[in-house]
Amino acid sequence: MSRDADGQASRSYPPLPERLPVDVFDSHCHLDVVETPVDEQLKSAKAAGVTRIVTIGCDLPSSRFAVDAAAEFDDVYAAVAIHPNETTGISDAVLNDVALLAAHPKVRAIGETGLDYYRDWAPKDDQHRAFRGHIEIAKRTGKALVIHDRDAHDDVLRVLAEEGAPETVVFHCYSGDARMAETCAEHGYLMSFAGNVTFKNAEPLRDALRVAPLDLLLVETDAPFLTPIPHRGKPNASYLIPHTVRAMAEVKGVDVAELCAAIAANGERAFGPW
């Protein structure tokens, strides 16, 4: 689609970036929301050096989609949960359905769950009850916990401490400051950075990345959202991860290949074995 096309320019996909020197994976993608068939998303991702995708559930239908996609495609893995924004009036029966879906061997995480105080779509009580329920499922099934934390850092850390955190905790689209990154590092929580770490106004996020240890770093798209610079405003997909990884390497002052190798190893530890 050409730039002067009538209002469609923003929907056109950016070009394929240069392939990463070492293969990584996308720790958080909404394959069901990206407007491209899954096999095409996998193909373009692989051409960019992104060889696996963890697709995330936000409610029961999208969690079922995630399980089905993971069952169909070798390089897709699933996370299942009810997003904090979707927890209004959440029942034990719904949490039980999440737990049943989690039994599938290609479900490698419970997520995305957590707390969202930016949007008040669900009452805090319901969000907290759901978050605690998801923590319990992650511990019972031995799977990673993928946390959505929006303007709720203190409460997320507090609830994790109160419940006792699962062995593997991932803060998706990490949004805390450098001090919180130190706290996460003390607890061994993984921090997954998304395209917004490349944004001009994201210096506090880059400060957090500077102090986050290499062995706790992950990368994600949160596609179709949060498209990295230089394509901000265009739709996002897993093949655009190289832009984020290269920006992260620059902030960390490490080789791109070294960062990729660390991300790959951290991913296998958190969600593997593949």
HSE at residue 180, side-chain half, CA atoms within 13 A, is 20
Residue 153 touching Zn ion (CB under 5 A): no
Options 129-137, 157-165, 179-187, 217-225: segment touching Zn ion (CB under 5 A) = 217-225
Please report the DSSP string for 89-112 in residue order: T--HHHHHHHHHHHTSTTEEEEEE
Q: Is 148 annotated as contributing to ligand binding?
A: yes
**Tokens at 39, concatenated:** 């096999």
Alpha-carbon distance of 259 to 37, in angstroms, equals: 29
- How many residues bind Zn ion, per CB under 5 A? 3
Angle between helices 92-102 and 60-72 (to 10 degrees): 10
Q: Is 112 annotated as contributing to ligand binding?
A: yes
| C-beta neighbour count of 74 within 10 angstroms | 10
What's the closest the beta carbon of residue 84 comes to Zn ion, in angstroms? 8
According to CB under 5 A, which one of 148, 153, 206, 246 is a site residue for Zn ion?
148
Residue 52 touching Zn ion (CB under 5 A): no
Compare residues 29 and 245 and give the one whose CB is closer to Zn ion: 29
Residue 206 touching Zn ion (CB under 5 A): no
**Tokens at 134, concatenated:** 């998801």
What residue ranges in 179-259 does DSSP mark as E strands?
190-193, 217-219
Nearest residue by C-beta to Zn ion?
148
Going by the annotation, the residues of the binding site for a divalent metal cation are: 28, 30, 112, 148, 172, 222
Residue ranges in contact with Zn ion by CB under 5 A: 112, 148, 222
